[in-house]
Amino acid sequence: MKPLTKAQREAAVSIVRKDPGVKSALKGRGKVVFVEPNLSGRGDEHPGQAVVGIHDPDEGKSIVAVVDPESESIVGVEDLPAQLQLGPDERGEANALALADARVREFIGKNDADPLTRLYFPPAGDRSHRYAIVFIRPDTSSRLYAVVDLTAGEVTEVLDHLASGSPHGN
């Protein structure tokens, strides 16, 4: 199946924003995390349908809505008890915030950061915020870890030894 076009993604988000059962999750700090084709994984394709993932930090939940842009309707909605994985925009945002941090820039010097970014749950974290951890990998033996609060738009800590939790320049 082909990826959704920009117009298809925008149409799916527009439908979600109008639906009374879903649009409340996008008020405040809620945001669309991803828009992808609806694939069941069993060989059944649903041409034109999209799956829209939403994270609502104010309610501390994630929502998945299946949208049919042709009929301009929501096919189904599920509240999830867990946070959705980071979408491409969030990974890019986390990388940019981490790479703008002076401690990270000092660590990588003139090397490429080669970031690897994942969803993160800090030990004492506020579940209403979304966090990412950016693994900074300028070479095969050096690592630095930047914890990014995506909700606040800031790097909260930089660790040079993730297992021991020892802060680097904090």
36 pLDDT above the threshold of 70: yes
164 pLDDT above the threshold of 50: no
Identify the pLDDT of residue 122. Answer: 83
Identify the pLDDT of residue 44. Answer: 62
Task: Please give the order of strands across the beta sheet that includes 116-120.
Answer: 116-120, 131-136, 144-149, 154-161, 166-167
Structure-model confidence comparison of residues 59 and 52, the more confident one: 52
H-helix segments, 87-163: 88-100, 102-108
For β-strands 154-161 and 144-149, DSSP reports them as antiparallel
Dump pLDDT digits (tens) for 95-147. Answer: 999 999 999 999 999 999 999 999 998 887 667 788 999 999 999 888 999 99
How sure is the predictor about 45, in pLDDT bands with cuts at 50, 70 and 90?
A: low
Identify the pLDDT of residue 1. Answer: 62
**Domains of the chain, CATH where assigned:** 6-80 (3.10.450.40), 88-167 (3.10.450.40)
Phi, psi (deg, nearest 5) at residue 164: -90, -15
How sure is the predictor about 151, in pLDDT bands with cuts at 50, 70 and 90?
A: confident
Structure tokens at 21: 């059962």
The percent of residues above 90 in pLDDT, for the chain, comes to 46
Task: Please give the order of strands across the beta sheet that includes 73-80.
Answer: 31-39, 45-56, 61-68, 73-80
Identify the pLDDT of residue 170. Answer: 45
